[in-house]
Amino acid sequence: MREHAGGPRLGEELRDVSSTGKVRPWRRLKEQGLAVAAAFEGFDAERGEKMRRCASYAKYVWGDDAAGVVHKKLREANFCRCRMCPGCTTRLSHKRGFELSMCFEHVANKEDMVAVMMTLTPRSMHRAKTKRELKMMQAAWKKMREWPRFRRAMKYWYRGTEMTFPGETVHPHIHVMGLVPKKYFDKRSGLFLHQREIAEKWGRCLGADYTPVVDIRRMRKVVEAAKYVAKPSDYLTEGADGWVADAEILEILNTAVHSYHLSGWSKSFSKVRHELGFLKKGQSDDDEDVDLIGKGEGLPEGVTPRGYLKYSWFSTTALRGMHRLVEMEPYVEDEGRAAKKRRRKEKREREAEERRLHRDLLRATGRIAVADVSICGVFPSFYADQVAAQQAAMEENDYEPETAATSGCGPPGAAGGRRESG
Ligand SMILES: [Zn+2]
């Protein structure tokens, strides 16, 4: 959000710093997304394509404070919201973490409670059995949460299912973050659940012939605990040419995230979420519905808004690239409904214009593959410049563009005529 003085300049790389001073790794997340998208081509090409286009565009509102320091706040971005997209899951886990900590704090202050984390695991098994194991764990968790002693001790909980992939195996586990009354730790209260008792109960829920490993401990920091289904480091490695994703693991995770509810809240907690405005009336509890942009938030106090910055992704190779500042717009006072409607209309017109210019650019150059251009999500003015420059160069050198007709490899329509009319 904060930047050093000097003001934004066209062409510069996107730099997004949070209010706590952390740099948001847009470039790395986008590059990781490209690797995951490439791996998805083998088993879910449609979703892969959605991920490939994710975050190719971002719009910020920016301003500066009395000291001339630039601040900016994300306003729009084309996030794919796929649950295996590294960028979208990272943003989602930050949002969930914030939500969790706010809910925990709210209840803990009101009811004098402390946070604990319980981890429930079955035995690790071969990856091929992931689906069956998740189903079993889901059923076991249902029994576990009905356990009267658990219900009495922990009224407020959040559950997240995670997986790690050591060697050829999969190790799924459930994290339950909950709030217990302070007197829980007093053995005389009758609330305390001994680790051994939890393990035995969990074993019975699983229908296991062994005693599973469980863990329960007090939690100091809640945010840390709201993590991912699987850590990206479990399926992503960085090579010289970019990130490489493990397609086998991703296929397992993809099935898992679309077949099971990998997180859940207790009823009492859902009430708190309503109270605090995290869950709106009628809103589904799906991760897909979470606002990843933070629409309600504006620039910090004391910052004078100056305008909008539009960034676009430029690929240098199939797996590398960066977001560059491609357009700056002056600030407009927050608008009423009529103005919003007008802006939406303008946006539609701009997109139509963009598509038209896109076609012109393809005709003019004849050789740029559709995929190369569409990944950038470039803006009209940029296209217009390119087309104009291309045309000027052609006129000057009496240049005949290489087209589908002459090279045999250009995109359809590049020969300058429509197929039907030819
Ligand atoms: Zn995404």
**pLDDT single digits (tens) 311-344:** 999 999 989 999 999 999 998 876 667 777 888 8
Phi/psi class of residue 10: alpha, beta or left (left: φ > 0; alpha: ψ in -120 to 50)? beta
84 Cα to the center of ligand 1, angstroms: 8
The C-alpha atoms of residue 62 and residue 304 are separated, in whole angstroms, by 8
82 Cα to the center of ligand 1, angstroms: 6
Is pLDDT larger for residue 53 or for residue 96?
A: 53
Is pLDDT larger for residue 39 or for residue 283?
A: 39
34 Cα to the center of ligand 1, angstroms: 10
88 Cα to the center of ligand 1, angstroms: 4
405 Cα to the center of ligand 1, angstroms: 38
385 Cα to the center of ligand 1, angstroms: 29
The C-alpha atoms of residue 235 and residue 71 are separated, in whole angstroms, by 35
Same domain, 219 and 128: yes
Q: What is the mean pLDDT of residues 178-202?
A: 91
54 Cα to the center of ligand 1, angstroms: 5
Residue 333: C-alpha distances to residues 77, 310, 346 (Å): 21, 18, 17
Same domain, 422 and 363: yes
Q: Which two tokens stand for residue 63?
A: 């301003």
User: Number of structural domains, the chain?
Assistant: 3
The C-alpha atoms of residue 179 and residue 269 are separated, in whole angstroms, by 10
What is the pLDDT at residue 86? Answer: 92
192 Cα to the center of ligand 1, angstroms: 42
SS3 annotation, 172-223: EEEEEEEEEEHHHHCHHHCCCCCHHHHHHHHHHHHCCCCCCCEEEEECCCCH
158 Cα to the center of ligand 1, angstroms: 24
How crowded is the C-beta side of 189, counted as CA atoms within 13 Å?
A: 14
Q: What is the mean pLDDT of residues 160-187?
A: 90
68 Cα to the center of ligand 1, angstroms: 33
Same domain, 209 and 93: yes
25 Cα to the center of ligand 1, angstroms: 13
Same domain, 155 and 274: yes
The C-alpha atoms of residue 157 and residue 175 are separated, in whole angstroms, by 10
143 Cα to the center of ligand 1, angstroms: 34
62 Cα to the center of ligand 1, angstroms: 23
Q: Which two tokens stand for residue 241?
A: 């040419």
Same domain, 325 and 395: no
Same domain, 302 and 280: no
Residue 402 near residue 342 (C-beta atoms within 8 A): no
The C-alpha atoms of residue 105 and residue 28 are separated, in whole angstroms, by 32
What is the pLDDT at residue 384? Answer: 58
Same domain, 131 and 277: yes
60 Cα to the center of ligand 1, angstroms: 18
77 Cα to the center of ligand 1, angstroms: 10
Predicted TM-score (pTM) of the model is 0.74
33 Cα to the center of ligand 1, angstroms: 7
The C-alpha atoms of residue 286 and residue 217 are separated, in whole angstroms, by 28
Last residue of a domain, one of 334, 364, 393: 334
249 Cα to the center of ligand 1, angstroms: 18
The C-alpha atoms of residue 44 and residue 221 are separated, in whole angstroms, by 37
How many secondary structure helices (H) and strands (E) does the chain include?
12, 13
Residue 266 near residue 156 (C-beta atoms within 8 A): yes
Mean pLDDT of the residues in the chain: 82
121 Cα to the center of ligand 1, angstroms: 29
237 Cα to the center of ligand 1, angstroms: 18
The C-alpha atoms of residue 389 and residue 220 are separated, in whole angstroms, by 60
Same domain, 305 and 282: no
- How far out from the chain centre does Cα 151 lie? 33
45 Cα to the center of ligand 1, angstroms: 15
Q: What is the mean pLDDT of residues 66-74?
A: 90
Same domain, 363 and 303: no
Same domain, 259 and 128: yes
227 DSSP assignment: -
Helix (H) or strand (E) holding 351: helix 337-365
- Domain hosting 65: range is 1-79+295-334
Residue 366 near residue 404 (C-beta atoms within 8 A): yes
Looking at 223-286, which runs of residues are DSSP E strands?
A: 236-239, 242-245, 263-265
261 Cα to the center of ligand 1, angstroms: 19
382 — pLDDT class (breaks 50, 70, 90): low
Same domain, 241 and 317: no
78 Cα to the center of ligand 1, angstroms: 8
86 Cα to the center of ligand 1, angstroms: 7
60 — pLDDT class (breaks 50, 70, 90): very high
The C-alpha atoms of residue 171 and residue 122 are separated, in whole angstroms, by 8
Q: What is the mean pLDDT of residues 61-90?
A: 91
Who's near 67: CB < 8 A, 6+ residues apart? 5
142 Cα to the center of ligand 1, angstroms: 31
Same domain, 28 and 167: no
Whether pLDDT at 193 is above 80: yes
